[in-house]
Chain A
Amino acid sequence: MKRLLILLSLCQCLLAQWAADSLLDEMEEPDVNSFYEILMEQLFDTRGEDDVRSKSMILRQRLSHSSSSSGWTVLNKARYMQQGLSLSILLEQDPTEAKLADHQVITLSTESMLGLSQLIVGDFQARWGMGYLYDQPGRRRSLAASSLVSQTSLKLRPHFSTSETGFFRGLAFSKQLPGLTIMGFGSQRMILGKFSSDGFKVDSDGKHPSKDAFSGQRERALGAAALVSSWGWDVYLAGMLKVPGSLRGEWGIRRENESWGLLQTGGDFLDNYFIAWNYASRRLRLSTQFRRQQDAEGATGVSPFSSLATTGNTEYGFSTRLQLYPWRNIAIRFALDQDLHQSDTRISGLEDSQRKNLELVFKSPTRKLKLEYGQQVQIELTPADRWQSLSASRPIHKVGFRLDQDLSRNGRYVLVGKTARQDQQCSYLIQQVIKVRRGAFRADLGYALYQIDDFYLRIGAYESSPLESFGFFTAYDDGQRFSCYVSYQKDPAILELKLARATQFALQDEGEVLLLNFQLSIVL
């Protein structure tokens, strides 16, 4: 026992030495002879970079509760960065889960180690291409013109999210040479899910109640990619072997020019491809994209551009975005998405869709007004319709506005109105928010009243929420929603609390949903 005590003490002393050296040298003169410095010099090529001693630490703890999910969610995350070295830790426990670390992420990421440009050990994401290899959640289309193109062709980044899918666990690296970047990774991860008559189904929502039994399936993946940059052209090739799964490949070509913008094309080796062009100037941003999806969610298992709600296996798509700034205080945004089926080989459930959105923003020193109009047409086609050249077109029209009006130096009033209409059915939402800021305190009080006739006409709205938490709610049925968000900021901490109460009038007590979200953030 005595030896054990001595051993533990020695371990503690070593830990203390390491921590003191690495965390506290802000207050003290760096000791170049310390164990930590020698270790850093041995491990990392930091010679000549002594002046670049930036470091920071982010710590976040969140407790949230929703009466609809009958339990508490506990999130703890921290990131420590120093000299290109980054350590990320994330632990999340969803309601009724047994462990505080049911979902855990521990990742060490470095720059310029062992001659490599980047090395990641732990959990990471390979943001390669446009999503033909695997789903790229960050590459969804939005109203922004830049969302139709990819700004970086190949990127490795540590996974630091509560999402329990869409990342790898293992080792990844990248190496930059003149005109050439190569990347690779190896991953092995236990995927939780349940076996059924259809085989293994991955648990995609990440919730593992302690009373349920889950099975694990080992998922292995190997990936390699190369990017050649020469004479203004970027050409990349990426491949990934996934077990269970298959070998997939993706290619891409990118060319950027100051006068005519960015031209990009890419695809896989299964006849799926896209072509996109993006132009950006001071007053105009314009982009357009054409895509062909031969086997959406078929052989590849991924559908980077699939927009149709049905499981159609072939689709053509065309999108365009326009952002115009004619005057300093006015912005205009227009978006068009058209998706068409290539063939009618399926028996039923075929759809074509078209979405248009127009947004006008007026700004003044004390006021901001946003007007928006959207139209969505979904054409449901059946074989009989095809024979008779009929189509059931039921367009949904959405109109909305948002007014932000400063009441004083510390107060602001926000009024939001949204409607959705299809045939004779109509839904509406009115939201009012009072925002007050005084010293280190900030408080937002919101109230929303809504009447939603049909599930397809549901309306979403934003409300203030703690940093990095989901601040979007979807209104359904007839009801109301109160929300209160309070934050207090005092270096190095930010304390945030959100309370919300939603009521569905028709369900009385059963229609009450209470939500609580408390978050502590520390940034050093």
Chain B
Amino acid sequence: MTTVSILPIFRRRVFLCLLILSQGHAAFEYPGAGWASGTAHIQVVGQAQLDRSRFNPALMDSSQTGTIGLFHHRLFSGLDLVSTSLTCALPRDGNPLVMSLSIFGDEVYQELQVLSGDAWQLSPDFRVGTTISYSQVNMESETIHRELSLSPGMVLKLSEELSLGSVLENVIYLPQDSVRAQVFHLGLDYHLPRIQLLAEIEKAGPLDLDLKLAMQLSLYQSLTLVMGYQQSSRALTGGWRLKVGKWAVYYTRMGHPFLPPSHGLGLDLDL
């Protein structure tokens, strides 16, 4: 009996260590990734859906419509880890705004993040954006870590089909002794009328580069399928999205070679 009760706690401890030290590369670092969790967590490029806009606001352009979305993610079923995020994108003249509130964790570890991001069009083919996020991490209700970080990003349109994006995640953070990982993302987006190919390389801390690939198929105007692959964790991801009128509902699944699968469900509403 003792073994049964200790095992989940032990697994959580291992998970927390991995999360905090950022060594759980590619498996643990994307709470609240939303629709992008179906595309191997490629958030730096792609269509400006809510989760991508909150990661790289430069994806939002002047045609950005007002959208609000709720996403619930059950990570690695069996670890009791859940992530829930509420995100809102607002069109504004010149510089659209995105705001997000997300909660992630379990009964041992809780992380609350409040994020706000802006985008600016500097030339017809070049946009920059930045997010400011406040995170509060509770560990076993004993220690509370508060962090403030800034992550700039950009999107460059090379042609009608091809665009390139990058994000310097947590490039500035406070306090300085925080263990927050600084990550460099560089992505490429090649899109045709029905097919979209996404690729991203990610450099987190001293770890080697991680390569992520994804493909998005638009079967009908209302139905979209995605699949992706992440090199470091050898994780396969997939999902579908159904859009009816102003509403869109989507489901994502990430399979991991060693951990239980993760499931995500989201709902977006155009304002």
Contacts and interface: CB of A to CB of B under 8 A. Distances in A.
Given A76-B168, A490-B158, A524 B122 contact: yes
B201 to A, nearest CB: 7
Given A4-B114, A12-B116, A61-B166, A101 B182 contact: yes
B154 interface: yes
B206 interface: yes
Contact of A209 (B182, B201, B206): B206
A253 interface: no
B232 to A, nearest CB: 14
Contacts of B208: 71-72
Interface in B222-258: none
Contact of A57 (B122, B158, B205, B209): B122
A390 interface: no
B103 to A, nearest CB: 11
B120 to A, nearest CB: 5
Interface stretch (B29-37, B94-102, B191-199): B94-102
A72 B203 contact: yes
Interface in A446-500: 488, 490-493, 495
Nearest to A91: B171
Contact of A24 (B94, B125, B158): B94
Contact of B126 (A8, A98, A100, A492): A492
Interface residues of B, number: 37
Interface in A32-89: 57, 59, 61, 63, 71-72, 74, 76
Interface stretch (A14-22, A296-304, A406-414, A428-436): A14-22
B244 to A, nearest CB: 31
A19 B119 CA distance: 10
A230 to B, nearest CB: 47
Contacts of A74: 184, 203
A4 B125 CA distance: 34
Contacts of B205: 98-99, 210
B95 A63 contact: no
A100 B186 contact: no
Interface string B178-218: 00001110100000000000000101011011000000000
B209 A72 contact: yes
B171 A101 contact: yes
Interface in B99-123: 99, 101, 114, 116-118, 120-123
A493 B209 CA distance: 24
Contacts of A57: 122
Given A8-B134, A12-B132, A492-B125, A63 B156 contact: no
Given A63-B201, A210-B206, A9 B99 contact: yes
A243 interface: no
A114 interface: no
B156 A8 contact: no
Contact of A493 (B120, B126, B186): B126
Interface string A97-112: 1111100000000000
B45 interface: no
28 contacts: A8-B114, A8-B116, A8-B132, A8-B134, A11-B116, A11-B132, A12-B97, A12-B116, A16-B97, A24-B121, A57-B122, A61-B166, A74-B184, A93-B203, A96-B206, A97-B206, A99-B205, A101-B171, A490-B158, A492-B123, A492-B126, A493-B156, A495-B158, A520-B166, A522-B126, A522-B154, A524-B122, A524-B123
Interface of B: 92, 94-95, 97, 99, 101, 114, 116-118, 120-123, 125-126, 130, 132, 134, 154, 156, 158-159, 164, 166, 168, 171, 182-184, 186, 201, 203, 205-206, 208-209
Given A12-B116, A490-B158, A495-B158, 15 more contacts: A4-B114, A5-B114, A8-B116, A11-B116, A16-B120, A71-B208, A72-B209, A99-B182, A100-B182, A210-B206, A492-B126, A493-B125, A493-B126, A495-B164, A524-B126
